[in-house]
Amino acid sequence: MIKSINDYSFSGKKVLVRVDFNVPIDENLKITDDTRIISSLPTIEKILKDGGIPVLCSHLGRPKGKVNSKYSLKPVADYLASILNFTVHFAEDCIGEPAEDAVAKAKLGEIVLLENLRFHPEEEGNVKEFSESLASLTDVYVNDAFGSAHRAHASTEGVTKFFGENKFAGFLLLKELKYLGSAMENPQNPFVSIIGGAKISGKIDVIRKLLEKCDSILIGGGMTFTFLKAKGYNIGNSLLEEDRINLAKELLEEAKERKVNLILPSDIIIAKEFNNNSEYKIVPSDKIPDGWIGMDIGIAAQNEYFNIINNAKTVFWNGPMGVFEMTNFANGTLSIAKGMKESTGKGAVTIVGGGDSVAAINQLGFSKDVSHVSTGGGASLEFIEGKVLPGVKALEI
């Protein structure tokens, strides 16, 4: 069993909260996307409302176990203080005297944010003594960092051993598990997945698992061309993973055996060069001429995918349909976002999981039109694959 923070009053408690504040920060120390901070607010606000002191900890970037001001969480502390009406005490180290002093100074209704956990190699090394030092700061532990739940690090796994039963899942973690869990455990049918992005290689296990669950899988993005090659088509200069052609054949075969509609785009938008100003045209997917590059799914495929999604009851999307960063090749991805919006409006559960599809849906302005946008790229894919997430397992009592 995993305890929800909803069933506990944090009154008078100091609470170590593992959040995911791994946000993009520009050279002027400005946070350019605050989604992850905003997503943690319900948990932080619940602890404050109960009369507890949230002691927030997170990683930021990859400082590789060394102090590096480029990866300091100080700008996040300033940002938090500016959007919440609460004092935020920033501790210049996540353990030892700076952390202990900040926690001691904080009064009820105030927040502590500890410096980047990954300034210590012991965080990723999941070292017991480091976990113990972190745990010694507070009475209770909450994990609200779904994006880090697939890693057994000190702050996600090791630390839980020092809290007995005083460990809880935060609202964001619970929301992620609810949406991804119900999609994989008891989805309403038709269950449709859309899988795109650059390569098949990182998504083999995801596709395999989805073949067990879905009615239809719609393929797009760069991986399309390895599938088309597997069918014996010419793909010009499109992205190809030569060493995955056989795997693509196997997946097509497996889909047939399982009676899953594994659908490849019927037409493709191709360009002479890999840039937005290039000449481009639409061709049937078995007619890509030599020298041309597949950039996006074609209009017939966009319409077909839109209609399938529109009639689905559960939708999971990972990976853009084309090179969406270039406006001329963003329409395939846009048609998926529009299909998901329609489908959500008709009561379907629609989930976007994984890094670039989240960037795409944000860029296209559709993130409020789906049921759930997962904050964890790698974690959401590992969850879909059916892997145990160490950060979640560690919360079990």
Q: Which stretch binds ligand AMP (CB under 6 A): 5-13, 64-72, 171-179, 196-204?
A: 196-204
Q: Which of 375, 234, 374, 339 is nearest to 331 (CA)?
A: 339
CA distances from 389 to 40, 84, 157, 382, 392 (A): 19, 31, 10, 8, 5
Query: Smaller CB distance to ligand AMP: residue 44 or 295?
Result: 295
DSSP state of 238: S
Annotation says 322 is catalytic: no
Annotation says 353 is catalytic: no
Site string for ligand AMP, 308-337 (x = CB under 6 A): -----------xx-xx-x------------
- Tell which positions 202-261 bind ligand AMP, by CB under 6 A: 202, 221-222, 239
Annotation says 161 is catalytic: no
103 binds ligand AMP, rule: CB under 6 A: no
CB of 320 to ligand AMP, least distance (A): 5
Q: With CB under 6 A as the rule, give the number of residues binding ligand AMP.
A: 16
List 282's β-bridge partners, or say none: 269
Helices (H), the chain: 35-50, 74-83, 96-105, 121-124, 128-135, 171-185, 204-213, 224-230, 245-258, 299-310, 331-345, 355-364, 377-384, 390-393
Rounded to an integer, what distance in angstroms lies between the CA atom of residue 297 and that of residue 334?
A: 11
Rounded to an integer, what distance in angstroms lies between the CA atom of residue 294 and that of residue 301?
A: 13
39 close to 375: Cβ distance less than 8 angstroms: yes
CB of 329 to ligand AMP, least distance (A): 8
Q: Look-up: residue for tokens 């393929």?
A: 219
282 close to 166: Cβ distance less than 8 angstroms: no
- Tell which positions 265-304 bind ligand AMP, by CB under 6 A: 294-295
Among 197, 265, 339, 390, binds ligand AMP (CB under 6 A): 197
Q: Which stretch binds ligand AMP (CB under 6 A): 58-66, 75-83, 100-108, 198-206?
A: 198-206
CB of 221 to ligand AMP, least distance (A): 4
Query: Smaller CB distance to ligand AMP: residue 247 or 295?
Result: 295
Q: Which residues bind ligand AMP (CB under 6 A)?
A: 197-199, 202, 221-222, 239, 294-295, 319-320, 322-323, 325, 355-356
Catalytic residues: 36, 199, 355, 378
